[in-house]
Copies of this chain bind each other. A is one copy, B any other.
Amino acid sequence: MRKKISIGIIGYGTVGSNTAAVLQKKNRFFADRTGIDFHIKKICDVNWDNKRDWMPPVSMRTNDYNDIINDPEINIVVELIGKFHPAYEIIKKSLRQGKAVVTANKFLLSKKLTELLTLADTSGSYLGFEASVAGAIPVIKMLRESFIGNRINSVIGILNGTTNYILSSMTEKHQTFSDALKSAQSLGYAESEPSLDISGKDSAQKLVIISTYAFQCGILDRDFLIEGIERIEPQDIDFARELGYKIKLLAIGKRLDDTVFLKVHPALIPVNHMLSDVESVYNAVYFEGDLFGKTLIYGEGAGGKAATSAVIADIMEIGRKLYLGSYLSEQFIINPHVKFQSSDELKTRYYLRFTAIDRHGVLASIANILGKNKISIASVIQKEENPEHAVPIVMLTHAAIEKNLQKAVSTIDKLSCIRHPTQIIRIEG
């Protein structure tokens, strides 16, 4: 006997319309694989003027999401409108009524994931959110299920396609940041208002969601180090290449015993690290765990089809669980002992680019200040010699404590021979 499951979709943009089209087109394929007829009952959008590949019949359309969340026949609510309101209310009401929810809303989840998972648990419902992080890459499922036997010690992600595209273009085409941004915008890889991506905030939201599972920590709304890519210059990319590194925007979460730290910033990674091969709009996540060792998963992190693949996987999973008659309690746990390490105390290697007048003793002054702050130098590049103009001096340091580094650089930047604020980029891997 084939079971029928009714779906309501709220938000008929790229992912919503792709999801509807795939559910229609592959209905038989899914039924064969799951024994379930996945049936779209209603689709809500505020306006229906945008032409999509598949346009639902008028009888299926609504402008009021209450038509979906209050329909007792609808089992699964797919929330694809994004932002905070009314997505938050839609998801809460749906879960409270025992409906399963599938969402790609990283912004909302980065603020409310623990609350919504707890609500799903107490309501006997289910929250699917694979599409909120890294598109089609099943990061959440891997953490929730495949790596459940592991203690996760490290997660390093390239989680934002826009910034990765820009850094790739700067590297391959020797473009400036603003030129690379313009070309990303013209190709549709960056929004006209790109600050969420470029500032690192989008990556940070995804890191919060991943970390909740990876480290069992309720880090929602907690401040951590977030830096964007705006200040990366072509010369930094060139120096990095010369030193055997690429520059990528990384989202990093690590744990030592019960201490966790999170940060998002551009970083130099060695060219032999697999993350350095992640180019263009692709995403990747690298994990370390006590049993599986090292794993990397790479794929399309954005775009309608990739996100649709994740939404469909969640819908099928919910269908299968509904078929069994109940959801399994998530047994979602927050470890109350998790401590957060302040970014001031983090120990990292650094790339420093000083812009100094090429004068006798400059290198000695810089090295002296670094030494006083317990920062030791691993390598130096000083190429041009031009006593008239400021020239770049690039140093890679050994591991140093963030607050010492910041103090040293602020002292160095006050030297009369220093002509611009020093470029600081962390090194990872």
Contacts from A to B (Cβ < 8 Å): 22, 26, 29-30, 32-35, 130, 135-138, 141-142, 145-151, 272, 274, 277, 289-300, 303, 305-306, 308-310, 312-313, 316-317, 320-321, 323-326, 328-329, 331, 333
Most buried by B among A26, A34, A293, A303: A293
Scoring A26, A130, A150, A151 by chain B CB atoms within 10 A of each residue's CB, the highest score goes to A150
Given contacts A34-B331, A274-B277, A316-B145, contact A291 B326 (CB under 8 A): no
Q: Complex: how many Å from CA A320 to CA B321?
A: 11
Q: Complex formed: what's the CA distance from A272 to B320 in Å?
A: 39
The answer on a CB contact under 8 Å between A26 and B145 is no
A345 to chain B, nearest CB (A): 27
Contact B277 A306 (CB under 8 A): no
Residues B323 and A328 in contact, CB atoms below 8 Å apart: yes
Given contacts A33-B331, A291-B22, contact A148 B316 (CB under 8 A): yes
Q: What is the chain B residue whose CB lies nearest that of A36?
A: B331
With A309-B289, A320-B328 as known contacts, state yes or no: A295 contacts B137, CB within 8 Å: yes
State whether A149 touches B309 (Cβ < 8 A). yes
CB distance from A365 to the nearest CB of B (A): 42
B298→A295 contact, CB < 8 A: yes
Whether B291 pairs with A309 at a CB distance below 8 angstroms is yes
Instruction: Across the A-B interface, give the 8 residue pairs with the lowest CB-CB distance, nearest first.
Output: A149-B312, A136-B292, A295-B299, A138-B146, A291-B309, A292-B309, A293-B300, A296-B298
Q: Check A329–B35 contact: CB distance below 8 A.
A: yes
Give the CA-CA distance A141 to B143 in the complex, in Å.
Answer: 12
Contact A295 B297 (CB under 8 A): yes
Distance between Cα atoms of A296 and B295 in the complex (Å): 11
Asked whether A291 lies within 8 Å of B277 as measured between CB atoms, the reply is: no
Q: Which of B22, B292, B321, B328 contacts A149 (CB 8 A)?
A: B22
Contact: A32 with B333, CB < 8 Å? yes
Which has the most chain B C-beta neighbours within 10 Å: A145, A316, A323? A145
Cross-chain contact of A296 among B299, B321, B323 (Cβ < 8 A): B299
- In the complex, A323 Cα to B300 Cα: how many Å? 35
Q: Are B328 and A148 in contact (CB under 8 A)?
A: no
Taking CB as reference atom, which chain B residue is nearest A315?
A: B149
What would 30 A/B residue contacts be, using CB atoms closer than 8 Å? A22-B291, A26-B149, A29-B151, A32-B331, A33-B148, A33-B331, A33-B333, A34-B148, A35-B329, A138-B141, A138-B142, A141-B145, A141-B146, A145-B313, A145-B316, A146-B310, A148-B313, A149-B308, A149-B316, A150-B309, A274-B274, A274-B298, A290-B305, A291-B312, A293-B303, A294-B300, A296-B298, A298-B298, A321-B328, A324-B325
Residues of the B chain whose Cβ atoms lie less than 8 Å from the Cβ of A289: 309
Q: How far is the CB of A30 from chain B (nearest CB, A)?
A: 7
> Measured between C-beta atoms, what is the minimum distance from A56 to chain B in Å?
19
The residue in chain B whose Cβ has the minimal distance to the Cβ of A18 is B291
Residues of B within 8 A of A290 (CB): 305
Other-chain residue from B138, B308, B317 in contact with A291 (beta carbon distance below 8 A): B308
Instruction: Give chain B residues whose Cβ lies under 8 Å from the Cβ of A26.
Output: 149
- B333, A305: Cβ atoms closer than 8 Å: no
Complex contacts, A136 vs chain B, CB 8 Å = 146-147, 291-293, 295
A293: chain B residues within 8 A (beta carbon): 136, 299-300, 303, 305-306
User: Nearest Cβ in chain B — how far from A356, in angstroms?
Assistant: 37
Nearest-neighbour CB distance to chain B for A54, whole angstroms, equals 15
Please report the C-alpha to C-alpha distance between residue A9 and residue B289 in the assembled complex, in whole angstroms: 24
